[in-house]
Amino acid sequence: MARKRKKAAETQQQQQRPISLDTLKHFWALMAHYFPELRINICLFNYKAEGDKSPLVKHDVREDVPVAQAYEAVLEFLDDYHKGEDILWKPSPSLTETSMLWVDDFRFDNELGLKPLFYIQTSPDKYQAYFKLTEAVPVEKAAELQKILIRLTGDKAASGYTQPRRMAGLANGKYEDDPLVIMLKGEEGDGVLSPDKIIALDQSTLARARGGVAETKDGVAEDMAQETQGQGQEPKAKRVGGMYIKPVVPANYKPVLIKDRSAFIKRRPDGTIDDSATDMGWATSIARLTYEAGWDDAAIVFTIYEILGNKSPELQRRKRTPKHARQYLYITAWKALRRVKEEPETDPRIAF
């Protein structure tokens, strides 16, 4: 009997999702230390739910929790977590002032060299970064400053201040292998910015892009050198986001200009990027442009296959095995072409 109980306990332990309560506790302790004014709402997301609506979302299962009590509040939902629900949080609507800014898909190679106060790794090569303002500001002002910071260092499409976000110590159910969200501390002095500093950085960046002069709030002019081909000549034209593609099969077709994948970002109800829907939107656009340019079906499909294989993020991780990834790319390419051919305004040269 004792052996059976031991085996049952081991089986139950094996079925539990990855979790680090020490990391989770440290995350919320750090949040309380830097942002004591914060109050949060807790949400549940089921990314592996079956049916038309995925993920299934239970918004605000706990509301208006003081940040100092957040860890204990999260523990109340561990049974749901081990059944497959992801626990996310967002700032409470009751929050009036805050010093917290948050950046999704933070780029450590940003041209301004900005570093976060601390950050969490939500999956390989993807990070969510936290910054602190030198003074608390109204939430509406914080939302504006956060949009600027995101524009300079992160994912421009994820700028909502009350957007649900992850916490360190729990698994990321968006992926099949449930990677554990880990936490990393920034260097001393990094990640603390004044509102004026953020505005000045934004003005400088915009001026640099235009080849002009930026004026800071303190009245200090910053000269931005223009990119020119020679003295007195016009500045070089900035390249529009996109690229010319050629068929990857032997065929003498003209190159086609396509937009970057970032122009087709699709999002789930929780604000996270739906990579598969984004791939399909981009693939359909490529199929339409190449079809109208007179490319044959094989050239279109295999070129989309190659482009998605190189540009779709974390493809091997999302699809678990190389075989699954190859099937996904092939099916996506053919579906995209089929969509284009079935559109009434398109002249279907070859019926499926």
322-348 per-position pLDDT tens digit: 888 889 999 999 999 999 988 754 444
Structural domain harbouring 34: 18-198
Q: State residue 205's pLDDT score.
A: 75
d(CA 198, CA 201): 5
Query: Residue 188 is part of a domain; what is its CATH number?
Result: 3.30.70.1790
90 lies in the same domain as 163: yes
330 lies in the same domain as 247: yes
301 lies in the same domain as 193: no
What mean pLDDT is reported for the chain? Answer: 82
188 lies in the same domain as 253: no
Residue 250: Cβ within 10 Å count: 6
Look at residues 141, 169, 198 and tell me which one is the last residue of a structural domain.
198
Tell me the pLDDT band of 54, cut-offs 50, 70 and 90.
low
Q: State residue 176's pLDDT score.
A: 83
30 lies in the same domain as 169: yes
User: Per residue in 209-239, pLDDT tens?
Assistant: 555 444 444 433 333 333 333 333 333 333 4
Highest mean pLDDT among 38-47, 105-114, 184-193: 38-47
Sheet holding 86-91, edge to edge: 56-66, 39-46, 86-91
Tell me the pLDDT band of 2, cut-offs 50, 70 and 90.
low
Q: State residue 86's pLDDT score.
A: 97
Phi (first) and psi of residue 84, to 5 degrees? 120, -5
Q: State residue 348's pLDDT score.
A: 41
269 lies in the same domain as 128: no
Query: Residue 338 is part of a domain; what is its CATH number?
Result: 1.10.1240
Query: Which of 44-58, 78-92, 207-221 has the lowest average pLDDT?
Result: 207-221
Number of domains in the chain: 2
177 lies in the same domain as 263: no
Query: Which of 134-143, 284-293, 322-331 has the lowest average pLDDT?
Result: 322-331
Asked if residue 320 is part of any domain, the answer here is yes
176 lies in the same domain as 82: yes
Asked if residue 215 is part of any domain, the answer here is no
Look at residues 198, 217, 251 and tell me which one is the last residue of a structural domain.
198
CB-based burial of residue 310 (10 Å sphere; 0-12 exposed, 13-18 middle, 19+ buried)? Answer: exposed
Asked if residue 231 is part of any domain, the answer here is no
Q: State residue 87's pLDDT score.
A: 98
Three-class DSSP category at 119? strand
d(CA 306, CA 329): 8
184 lies in the same domain as 331: no
For residue 238 the two structure tokens come to 């900035």
C-alpha angle 32-25-174 in degrees, rounded to nearest 5: 105
Asked if residue 350 is part of any domain, the answer here is no
pLDDT at 126 over 80: yes
